[in-house]
Structure 1
């Protein structure tokens, strides 16, 4: 009676199977195959196939997007220890092979030149590449054939064993897994990129809305100022009219009665002139503070624009001991513009000069008008020492300000810049001036 064999002796796998399984285990445990780097993954796979199966070449081919071509993504030549890629074959030229590839799990040919499965490649591939035997396995992903793992023998014809076929099928699955890992990582990167762009878009839109909010707030303040100016002008003009009327009556009585008192006459004239000046200032305030974007472009004298602007701020500068001069503006120089907008631009620059130098020992502002054949330059120069180089670009950005918190909105210069653009002009910094000098350049009428 024979003895019963122990369980561990009932199965004894051959060395070939153990060898192939060991290599498959190594590949499955390789992090590089799941890294998303397909070039590196394909290098590892094709080298493994060629060395493990003792083949002369191993390659991975993938279909293009519409399946009209199959393209070599990686081919390893074992004798030369080199990788190559890029060869392309048109699938319609080899219908029998690709039809068989769709139905079979393995295409193994002992005689690659004459086997019905591969003889279509004789002239285009088999003979030029000296292929004698082939072992091809389709790569399938999500139930769809996406390519081929190709094992080539060029030195002698060779019949593939069942263990080799099984190994090649496993290599096909590992290749599909690497492709899936790459697609997953690419999808995650695309998602991260989309999230980043979305976040940037939200940030940009939020910033844009905040800017629009600030601009709207600024515009509403100007509108409120215009409305307030109108109310003040109305309230002041009524008693001012009475004062002027009485002053004219007194003046008329003095002339009729031939009163020759110089002090009396000077006082009456002073009342009339001061009242007219107040009336002019109120008209200017109301005119200046209104929204002017929709005004028609019309010829205006530059000297008049400057004078109208200084009416709004001369008293403030005088109160703080500022010296302000206008250097000989030619009264004949005209520009086609929205005069209120240009006044607003000049006033913004004058206010910036006031804030910049109000605590300096020397406080002066000078307005100069220069002309060329094409342009009129209105220069606003103050006793400051110029704009630092690192701020010259930033100061025209919305909401950028060098003023303390609560002292500035950062909208002054951007508003001036937009006004000048609307007039086909520019705002410039004169870098050659030893002091701070802004230039409003307008096309000459």
Structure 2
């Protein structure tokens, strides 16, 4: 190849414009190289449509005309010989374009008006297909196209493929950036929606927990009220009997008919009545104290250090008015004293829900041997945790139900008024508020065990319900 052409080709191949992604600038660079190398006055770049039936001028440089963005087109139906020659994807070297079999069709409408005598059309290939041509045209005189000139334009056509690759890459990058921006916007919107939903769920969760606490308190209030009413009724009856004995004693004294034996019998009866009053009032006072302690715990979440076994003993005593109708006996097993720093209110609610859940779902009221065993153990290998197992002797839970019992609103007692929230709230309290874990083991006919693993020192930071209630 001619040295001048080689130098121009080298200059073009080293130009950063080819790899800039600016296809229009690359087209102008290549066409200008054609003008300079071939010393012609007119060159253009044409591209096919998808069916290769139409070819459109994408860029034209004519030294006698200003640069124009107007796009000319030619159709296969108007130029069948020319398009047939292009179908073979070969170079068209028309020294006398007006008489060449492939280009003669252009004579009247194109060659003569533009004063063109010679044409050199070199195919542009990209991705294994011919996508267009570089058209070099000589005006005013006939030009004999040399092999070097043909190879030179063919090399420039190949470089145009490189420019198209860079342009596609730039487009892909821009599309990727747009997609990333859209994705970031969608992620931000979705995050905002999720945060809103989480806030709503936390608010709903707090409301459900509060409702469940009030329901538990309602159960305690009703049961304790009934339980306290019985000893108070006995105390009132015994007190009335004391008043009656005192009145009789006074009448005997006023009528001077009081004998020693009657006085001793009356004093003995009064002592018996006073004993009954004292025992029943002490029992009532004990119930009120336990109820007050449990009620305060369930109505607020304050962190305290408690003896877990003693606390559960106090708690189940307040539940006896409810569990008595199910003939439930409570057994607390604790080999060694275990003190934990935790939220007693959450513990109270968890135990209350588990006991009530056992009464509703596990026990038959006509069974006189219903038991709930509380086993408290502190493993030697992990002294930072304590295991609390709540085991009943009820009818057990089917395996298909065990997988879902902690799901909100899942219940097997929907027809009997079950809400499906009791164990869901238990799970949430254990996991979120108490910082522990809970699992269930059960076999139909052999009872159910809920195993709670609790930290000896509750993490005060992970208490979203408490934070929401205080906000």
After TM superposition, the score normalised by the length of structure 2 is 0.46
Please give the TM-score of this superposition, normalised by the length of structure 1.
0.48
